[in-house]
Amino acid sequence: MAQKLAGKSAVVTGGGSENGIGKEVALAMAAEGAKVVVNDITKDPDGTWGADRVVMEIKQAGGTAIANYDSVATMSGGENIIKTATSNFGRVDILVNCAGNFVSGPTVDCTEDEWDLIMAIHLKGLFSCTRAAIREMLKQKSGGRIINFTSIAAFPHELGPEPAIAYGTAKAGVLAFTKTLSLEMEKYGITVNAISPNAATVLFPFPEMFGAKRYGPEFVAPVIVFLATDEAKSVTGQIIYSGGGDVAIHDQPMQMPEPPRFIQKTGKWTVDELIKIIPPLISPA
């Protein structure tokens, strides 16, 4: 079977955390033939860069990958992350903005440093990498894929384990960024979408959140790979919920849609299944 991302170059920020969505995305994209830049600033307890560990796993599986350790929180860092792709693979076709952090607690206790740190990673980091990637995509004149991460915390119907005013505010900003940029880039064939994941990860180890059971990050990866394929070239400006076997297209930010814009299965979706199912959800006949 032909690999869906053969010949593509992908960048995944925040791709080095064990049990993280970024790692699963990097592995899944490499398995579909993409050459992957795995970006992460964290190290394992033994001192190994998390990005190096994921790159090694990709290479052992027969894929192509290279690590990058720059922070997304600076403009130079974002530029260096994208330059890693263009210098080693000649181009950049896909950017997955998965780098994130989390600070919780009552609003009255949120410090200036905590607020600034959340905004630096989730919003400035989003801008720094995306601007650098789009500049390359426009030069290439062959379209591109930008995939961002939002959260139900942007418009919570109830509090999660703890209040998180900075995180929720930043994730609401990701929605505005995604919607605005998708309109700007549509004429260039560059799609921009946002994922709202429900997964138990190293950042959010809780078995439940907002009353919903949380599944492993490997369930989210196929949806992101789908958005990176040529078959998803008409899918842009969308907010897509993914958790376990549940996938939903949101008409309004974080508002659960009615059928037929919601699909569910027991187990993990495949990219082939999503290619057939998601486009009709967005543009029902």
Angle at 260 between CA 190 and CA 196, to 5 degrees: 50
Q: Look-up: residue for tokens 């009353």? A: 211
Helix (H) / strand (E) element for 191: namely: strand 190-197
* Catalytic annotation, pick one of 167, 188, 215, 241: 167
CB atoms within 10 A of CB 118: 23
SS (H, E, C) 92-136: CCEEEECCCCCCCECHHHCCHHHHHHHHHHHHHHHHHHHHHHHHH
The CA distance from 226 to 251, in Å, is 20
Fill in the DSSP letter of residue 7. Answer: T
DSSP annotation string for 165-186: HHHHHHHHHHHHHHHHHHHHHG
Does residue 167 have an active-site annotation?
Answer: yes
Helix (H) / strand (E) element for 196: namely: strand 190-197
The CA distance from 223 to 202, in Å, is 20
Q: Which residues are catalytic?
A: 167
